[in-house]
């Protein structure tokens, strides 16, 4: 039988997008722009960074070491090694896993480019796995589909702050293939056993970038158990030198002269960032609670909408870190596209974003070739947008976003025809 191309142009929607909750003035546009993510810095961070500036030592030193110890204690892991970004953390972790030219590294396409680029830096090839539409994350099955004899590592992403089931993934990944966790969204996320992401035993990479749940402007870290890897990463982040700058300049007995044996990188953290990080960590649970309130507010408000938008599974569960609040639009019921909705939100001073434009369709990864078939990634990525969420937001902000979002969708609602 010949396939018929059906066009669903006449969708009938009788009930408008509606919201029961009363909003004071839904159409008044706020004066300031609300970014999709922003840090929450208090006087504590300002005082801490000022103290380090006044101390005369702003590079990597005692403050960085103290931050690493506090992070390790918070997460309950033996080692946390800070670096200048999560991108560097991913690169160094894949290096530890022995990834090199010709190897394949499985990762999602629905992620930031760093998750895949880290493999390319090492001469390896990223191989994209599809996602599950409820969690927006790779699954044991989608990983299994992409395993070959060349697979050397799997980079999994705890998307939006939802911790993946690492044990289930481990069941399908052969021994000798490393699992590296991209936890850029997941500082403070917990696994079903209640332990923080970072404690699985895999090398777990965090980001402290400007909009992250724990922010130091820029920065990243690897949480790990292996003593030898921890020492190697400590050395590689500082050119391959055996001791970091602080110890080199302050050690009472050792004067290092010609001690460079390995080629390393310049990927270290600084005490300025660590001072901010220590203050952020001390306020982390309070900030996480604010994110939880915003997510709950959105779910309550958007849950009243007909027809429904969908949000990520588990985003109001206690173990979710709520780095992103991502929704999927019922495009079949709208006359506008996802991009129309994003731009309409921006016109109302709401920093809506797109997480993500899928990597498998980008020329860097597919070149002139047909992109691989990732049907669920494509379906989600065409209809997804991110509403603002941060520990800086108030519930009044959340109410403004929810009200404007509904009013925009109502404007794009398909009418009977
Ligand atoms: C999933 C994911 N991985 C990695 C990164 C890279 O983090 P960084 O900017 O610290 O290098 C990001 C950044 O947003 C991210 O979202």
Residues 82 and 150 in one domain: yes
Residues 405 and 347 in one domain: yes
Distance CA 13, CA 182 (A): 41
CA-212 nearest atom, ligand 1 = 14
Pocket probe for ligand 1: among 163, 184, 208, 211, the residue whose CB has the most ligand atoms within 8 Å is: 184
Residue 53 belongs to a domain: yes
| HSE of 39, CA atoms in CB hemisphere, 13 A | 21
Residue 237 belongs to a domain: yes
CA of 112 to the centre of ligand 1 (A): 6
Distance CA 217, CA 250 (A): 28
pLDDT tens across 60-76, in order? Answer: 999 999 999 999 999 99
CA of 106 to the centre of ligand 1 (A): 17
Which residues sit with their C-beta closer than 6 Å to ligand 1?
Answer: 85-87, 111-112, 114-115, 157, 182, 184-185, 207, 209, 220
pTM of the model: 0.92
| Per-residue pLDDT at 1 | 32
Residues 214 and 257 in one domain: yes
| Per-residue pLDDT at 162 | 98
Residues 273 and 295 in one domain: no
| Per-residue pLDDT at 24 | 47
Q: 2, 22, 212, 392: which one is catalytic?
A: 212
| Per-residue pLDDT at 256 | 64
DSSP labels, 334-389 = BSS-HHHHHHHHHHTTB--B-S---GGGSHHHHTTSPPP--HHHHHHHHHEEEE--
Residues 251 and 311 in one domain: no
Residue 119 belongs to a domain: yes
CA-220 nearest atom, ligand 1 = 10
CA-208 nearest atom, ligand 1 = 10
Residues 69 and 83 in one domain: yes
CA-87 nearest atom, ligand 1 = 11
Ranges in the chain, pLDDT < 50: 1-24
Structural domain boundaries, residue 335: 285-352+388-412
- CATH number of domain containing 408: 3.90.1150.10
CA of 328 to the centre of ligand 1 (A): 22
Residue 382 belongs to a domain: no
Centre a 10 Å sphere on the Cβ of residue 322 and count the other Cβ atoms it contains. 29
| Per-residue pLDDT at 89 | 98
Residue 366 belongs to a domain: no
Residues 188 and 303 in one domain: no
Q: Residue 364: phi, psi to the nearest 5?
A: -55, -35
Please say which residue of 255, 282, 309 terminates a domain: 282
| Per-residue pLDDT at 376 | 96
| Per-residue pLDDT at 355 | 96
Residues 237 and 344 in one domain: no
Cα angle, residue 86 at apex, residues 36 and 357 outer, rounded to 5°: 50
Any residues with CB less than 8 A from the CB of 406 and at least 6 apart, and which? Answer: 17, 18, 19, 301, 302, 305
- CATH number of domain containing 183: 3.40.640.10
Catalytic residue at 414? no
Residue 10 belongs to a domain: no
Residues 289 and 232 in one domain: no
| Per-residue pLDDT at 14 | 32
Residues 167 and 292 in one domain: no
- For residues 187 and 213, the answer to whether their CB atoms sit within 8 Å is yes
Q: How far is CA 45 from CA 86, 191, 192, in A?
A: 21, 29, 32
Residue 125 belongs to a domain: yes
Residues 320 and 400 in one domain: yes
CA of 2 to the centre of ligand 1 (A): 46
| Per-residue pLDDT at 368 | 83
Please say which residue of 261, 282, 303 terminates a domain: 282
Q: Enter the DSSP assignment of 57.
A: -
Distance CA 123, CA 286 (A): 42
Our count of domains for the chain comes to 2
Residues 244 and 348 in one domain: no
| Nearest alpha-carbon partner for 109 in 387, 385, 376 | 376
- For residues 224 and 81, the answer to whether their CB atoms sit within 8 Å is yes
- For residues 327 and 384, the answer to whether their CB atoms sit within 8 Å is yes
Residue 35 belongs to a domain: no
Q: How far is CA 173 from the centre of its chain?
A: 23
Please say which residue of 221, 254, 282 terminates a domain: 282
CA of 87 to the centre of ligand 1 (A): 6
Distance CA 154, CA 128 (A): 10
């Amino acid at each position: 039988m010949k396939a018929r191309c059906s066009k669903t142009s006449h969708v009938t929607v009788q009930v408008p997008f509606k919201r029961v909750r009363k909003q004071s003035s839904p159409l008044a546009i706020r004066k300031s722009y609300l970014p999709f993510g922003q840090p929450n810095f208090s006087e504590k961070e300002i005082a801490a960074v000022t103290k380090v500036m006044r101390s005369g030592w702003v590079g990597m030193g005692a403050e960085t070491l103290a931050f690493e110890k506090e992070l390790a204690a918070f997460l309950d892991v033996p080692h946390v090694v800070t670096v200048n970004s999560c991108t560097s953390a991913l690169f160094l972790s894949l290096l530890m896993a022995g990834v090199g030219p010709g190897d394949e590294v499985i990762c999602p396409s629905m992620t930031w480019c760093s998750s895949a680029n880290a493999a390319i830096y090492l001469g390896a090839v990223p191989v994209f796995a599809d996602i599950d539409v409820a969690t927006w994350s790779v699954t044991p099955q989608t990983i299994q589909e992409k395993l070959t004899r060349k697979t050397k590592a799997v980079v999994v992403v705890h998307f939006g702050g939802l911790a993946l089931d690492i044990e289930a993934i481990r069941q399908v990944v052969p021994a000798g293939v490393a699992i590296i966790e991209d936890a850029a969204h997941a500082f403070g996320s917990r696994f079903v056993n209640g332990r923080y992401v970072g404690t699985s035993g895999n090398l777990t990479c965090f980001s402290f970038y400007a909009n992250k749940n724990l922010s130091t402007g820029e920065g990243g870290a690897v949480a790990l158990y292996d003593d030898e890897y921890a020492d190697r990463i400590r050395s590689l982040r500082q050119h391959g030198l055996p001791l970091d700058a602080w110890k080199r300049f302050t050690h009472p007995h050792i004067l290092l002269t010609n001690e460079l044996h390995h080629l390393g990188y310049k990927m270290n953290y600084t005490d300025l960032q660590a001072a901010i990080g220590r203050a952020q960590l001390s306020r982390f649970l309070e900030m996480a609670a604010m994110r939880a309130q915003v997510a709950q507010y959105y779910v309550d408000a958007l849950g009243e909408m007909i027809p429904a938008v969908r949000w990520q599974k588990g985003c109001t569960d206690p173990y979710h870190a709520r780095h992103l609040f991502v929704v999927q639009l019922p495009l079949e019921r709208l006359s506008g596209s996802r991009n129309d909705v994003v731009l309409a939100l921006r016109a109302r001073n709401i920093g809506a974003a797109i997480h993500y434009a899928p990597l498998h369709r980008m020329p860097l990864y597919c070149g002139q070739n047909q992109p691989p078939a990732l049907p669920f990634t494509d379906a989600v990525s065409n209809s997804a947008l991110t509403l603002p969420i941060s520990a800086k937001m108030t519930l009044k902000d959340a109410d403004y976003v929810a009200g404007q979002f509904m009013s925009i969708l109502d404007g794009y609602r398909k009418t009977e025809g």
